[in-house]
Structure 1
Amino acid sequence: MLKLGHKKDHGVDHKCTIRLLDDSEVLECEFQSYHKGRYLLDFVFNKLNLVETDYFALRYVDQNKQRHWLDPNKNILRQIKRYPTDLSPILFCFRVKFYPGDPVRLQEEVTRYQLFLQLRRDLLHGRLYCSQSDAAMLAAYIVQAEIGDFDPAKHYGNYISDFKILLKQTPKLEERVMELHPTLKNYTPLMAETCFLKKASALDTYGVDPHPVKDHRGSQLYLGLNHTGVLTFQGSRKTHHFRWPDVQKLNYEGKMFIVHLSFAEISHLALCDDVSTCLLCC
């Protein structure tokens, strides 16, 4: 006797949109109810010809505007239960989750380019915080990569204003970028992007996704993690840097995020706005 499968045994098609790092390109994908996050990630990796995949992940925003990383080893639908029901198709964003310590040593050019796009986003949105002089140099590398050598016949007036590169892009800063751009003559796009990666990866805020917290005195700080350790900032000033060899463990109790250090049995506390922020830090 032939036993027909129950309807529930078959996957139901769900549509999603995946926004890539340059924002101008999106991928449309369908997945079924039994698929795990790895299915969507592999779909993107294949489209982009990415081999060095460990640095990347998919992110989505729930109905409370809280960002979450999609776990590749868990069922997709179970993870997005809090996704706004009025939004269809489901939107995921392809992002760098783990920033390599030395991006120039990445093997594949396509991997370096995706990291370059991510760092451009970080610079534009203020996450890659730096001095005005560093910001101008980074912007000049971007301009050189985009339009090549300065040409007075083409590039006149404030041509930098056509680019949206920096969070606080003032005329004075644009003027400085225009001074730097001609100094990069003969830099190919690859050379300019490589210089950008070198400079960006040397900054304290490289790879840091800052979360607002308060210290034990109630002072407002921003806390983030990167390949070097756990960092806190007060405004633009780095206040603590707990390097990974010195960190024994990270955990949270309610809204309290705790960094346990290996020397002298010291712990440092930070009060998060909510439990979700603590979870993101952990």
Structure 2
Amino acid sequence: MMLTRLMSGSSRSLDLPCVCTVRLLDDSEYTCNVQRDAKGQHLFDLLCHHLNLLEKDYFGIRYVDPDKQRHWLEFSKGIAKQMRSRPPFILCFRVKFYPPDPAALKEEITRYLVFLQVKRDLYHGRLLCKTSDAALLAAYILQAEIGDYDPGKHPEGYSSKFQFLPKHSEKLERRIAEIHRSELSGLSPAAAEMCFLRKAQTLETYGVDPHPCKDVSGNSAFLAFTPFGFIVLQGNKRVHFIKWSDATKMKFEGKTFHLYVREKEEKRLVLTYIAPTPEACKHLWKCGVENQSFYKLENSNQVRTVSSSNLFFKGSRFRYSGRVAKEVMESSAKIKREPPEIHRAGMVPSRSCPSISHGLRLSSVPRTRRRAVHISIMEGLESLRDSAHSTPMRSTDHLDILTPHGSRETVISDEAYTPCCSILPTPVRESNLELSIGQQVNGTTFSNKDEEGDLAAPSIPNMETPPPALPGPEGSVQGEPEPEQANSFLQSVLRLLAVTLCLLLALLLLLVVLAESDLELAFLRDIRLTPEFQQFHYQYFCPLRRWVSCKLHPIIRLIDS
């Protein structure tokens, strides 16, 4: 009877609906009720139906767990289990995969939503650019949202009442108004938005969703995934760019993230970075797996389950679920319907900000509710603040200004981010990087001369030159091996060889059991299904088995005769 009551109580709790509030890109909110066991796909479909959106594969839903870690909602799993908090659930609708060519999008509603996202990126400091580019982008936004310049409606200094960037200067505001007044007259909102996207697409930080990390020497960095590859930003410069076709593998161990890179002449390098927490590192790894699958693969049938660790350690397993970019483009080309009506959001009043010298501004981007992210960032990058999309990325070089409240605002200038000044150092080789953290920096050998003011790497003694011998009390040389010392050293070597031989035999036995036995144990089956083991089995084990069989066949025939 008690068991029946418990089961009936649990079933009633599953029947109770959960309230989900999703903040949209124009800062409006969509609220709906879903069952406790509802999948993420159900909520996403409701949202896309509300937005009248068909090209929905570029978008996703973000949420923040109780530990203040951001996640993308997995559509194949239950909403309540992922949120790990009590309803009502608060989520955000954002662009997850930026289209490589926004002009190739089929429908205007899709381009408008991408425009809203990239406009947010510019406002929050994620889309870095020179002053000339910033003025042009802001002018496109102005044209899209208030239309042509009208002297009766737009008095002198009208552009200073709107904020498009983290920090404005009077010179920049005059340039924005000049471009809007003289160069963009006649552009419709859709055309201005398209021009904005085409310009933003050419910037190196287009599509960047930055993940704060540190390299192996402790220097702060931001890791990000774009439609074209994996990038690393330090300060205000891009220090690494890896094409998706050259990134062979991603894995993580605790807080350490590894990216394996294929170079010319079949060389393989590895980049290693340290995330603030293991949860942040896992989120970084999953985002990398999803972005590489979406942009690199030809079709979704090529998607495979990936593991975060080596062959004999299960680790975290993850599989991207969804269509890839090429399939999405092919599906979009088949859309045939009347263009849906678009309700564009105008510029809304912004709360006053002490860092703005012109007083109250009207913000083109609605304010995102923020929470503090407790991440310690070293000098050269600003302490991160939370946003619904990603952590705003700002530099604190000589371009930063300290506000009265102690926060920093980035000044957009020609020196703030110049793509032609980006540096691409050679990554550290794999053999050295995984074995000695502190001996190598991502991209170069670490030394006091290279990094003054930072922690010095431990010196590595030259193993080829023995230390000088010290004279003994009777003129002899100290350090000559005694017979007992020689015997002890020989015994240590023999023990090491014995242990190594035993480990090799155990490994060989395990490989034979995996490859030749029919045991259906769970952990054996998981190992057999991994792509690494299947590649090892067909490319190495089977040829080795045939070779051994050919060598042993004459001996077996001789014994039988």
Amino acid at match of 1:252: F
- Per-residue deviation, residues 119-145 of structure 1 (Å, max 9, x unmatched): 111111111111121111110000000
- Per-residue deviation, residues 13-45 of structure 1 (Å, max 9, x unmatched): 11121111011x211100111100011100110
C-alpha contact (below 8 Å) 1:12/1:33 kept by paired residues: yes
Secondary structure (helix, strand or coil) at the match of 1:206 reads: coil
Secondary structure (helix, strand or coil) at the match of 1:197 reads: helix
Secondary structure (helix, strand or coil) at the match of 2:166 reads: coil
Counterparts of residues 158-169 of structure 1 (less than 5 Å): 158-169=157-168
Query: Aligned residue for 1:153?
Result: 152
Q: How much does 1:92 deviate? A: 0.8
Query: Aligned residue for 1:11?
Result: 15
Q: How much does 1:265 deviate? A: 1.5
Answering whether residue 134 of structure 2 is matched by residue 130 of structure 1, we say no
Answering whether residue 105 of structure 2 is matched by residue 102 of structure 1, we say no
- Per-residue deviation, residues 202-247 of structure 1 (Å, max 9, x unmatched): 1111111111212222222111011111101112211000111110
Give the distance between the partners of 2:253 and 2:234, measured in 1 at CA. 23
Secondary structure (helix, strand or coil) at the match of 1:129 reads: coil
Match of 2:26 among 22, 25, 37: 22
- Per-residue deviation, residues 49-100 of structure 1 (Å, max 9, x unmatched): 110111111111122322111111100010011x3x5xx5211110001111
Stretch of structure 1 that moved more, 216-225 or 39-48: 216-225
Answering whether residue 279 of structure 2 is matched by residue 276 of structure 1, we say yes
Q: How much does 1:109 deviate? A: 0.8
C-alpha contact (below 8 Å) 1:37/1:74 kept by paired residues: yes
Q: Percent identity?
A: 46
Give the distance between the partners of 2:169 and 2:88, measured in 1 at CA. 38
Counterparts of residues 35-54 of structure 1 (less than 5 Å): 35-54=38-57
Name stretches of at least 5 consecutive residues in structure 2 with no aligned partner: 1-6, 286-561
Amino acid at match of 2:25: L
Counterparts of residues 1-282 of structure 1 (less than 5 Å): 6=8, 8-9=10-11, 11-23=15-27, 25-81=28-84, 83=85, 85=86, 89-182=88-181, 183-263=183-263, 264-282=267-285
Q: How much does 1:189 deviate? A: 0.6
C-alpha contact (below 8 Å) 1:142/1:193 kept by paired residues: yes
Q: How much does 1:146 deviate? A: 0.6
C-alpha contact (below 8 Å) 1:254/1:275 kept by paired residues: yes
- Per-residue deviation, residues 177-224 of structure 1 (Å, max 9, x unmatched): 011111101111111000001011111111111112122222221110
Secondary structure (helix, strand or coil) at the match of 2:268 reads: coil
Secondary structure (helix, strand or coil) at the match of 2:174 reads: helix
Q: How much does 1:164 deviate? A: 2.4
Secondary structure (helix, strand or coil) at the match of 1:207 reads: coil
Give the distance between the partners of 1:156 and 1:68, measured in 2 at CA. 45
C-alpha contact (below 8 Å) 1:142/1:196 kept by paired residues: yes
Give the distance between the partners of 1:153 and 1:165, measured in 2 at CA. 23
Secondary structure (helix, strand or coil) at the match of 1:169 reads: coil
Give the distance between the partners of 2:143 and 2:189, measured in 1 at CA. 7
Amino acid at match of 2:178: E
Q: How much does 1:262 deviate? A: 2.0
Amino acid at match of 2:128: Y
Give the distance between the partners of 1:66 and 1:102, measured in 2 at CA. 30
Give the distance between the partners of 2:154 and 2:216, measured in 1 at CA. 52
Q: How much does 1:7 deviate? A: 5.1
C-alpha contact (below 8 Å) 1:212/1:223 kept by paired residues: yes
Name stretches of at least 5 consecutive residues in structure 1 with no aligned partner: none
Amino acid at match of 1:15: V
Give the distance between the partners of 1:72 and 1:163, measured in 2 at CA. 37
C-alpha contact (below 8 Å) 1:122/1:128 kept by paired residues: yes
Give the distance between the partners of 2:71 and 2:160, measured in 1 at CA. 34
C-alpha contact (below 8 Å) 1:225/1:281 kept by paired residues: no
Amino acid at match of 1:266: L
Give the distance between the partners of 2:284 and 2:132, measured in 1 at CA. 30
Instruction: Give every structure 1 segment of 4 or more consecutive aligned residues whose post-TM-superposition deviation is greater than 3 Å.
Output: 5-10
C-alpha contact (below 8 Å) 2:83/2:89 kept by paired residues: no
Secondary structure (helix, strand or coil) at the match of 1:54 reads: helix
- Per-residue deviation, residues 97-121 of structure 1 (Å, max 9, x unmatched): 1111001101111111100001111
Stretch of structure 1 that moved more, 197-206 or 8-17: 8-17
Give the distance between the partners of 1:275 and 1:103, measured in 2 at CA. 34
By percentage of residues, which structure has more strand?
Answer: 1
Stretch of structure 1 that moved more, 203-212 or 168-177: 168-177
Secondary structure (helix, strand or coil) at the match of 1:152 reads: coil
C-alpha contact (below 8 Å) 2:256/2:275 kept by paired residues: yes
Secondary structure (helix, strand or coil) at the match of 1:110 reads: helix
Secondary structure (helix, strand or coil) at the match of 1:266 reads: strand
- Per-residue deviation, residues 140-195 of structure 1 (Å, max 9, x unmatched): 00000011111112111221133221111232221210111111011111110000
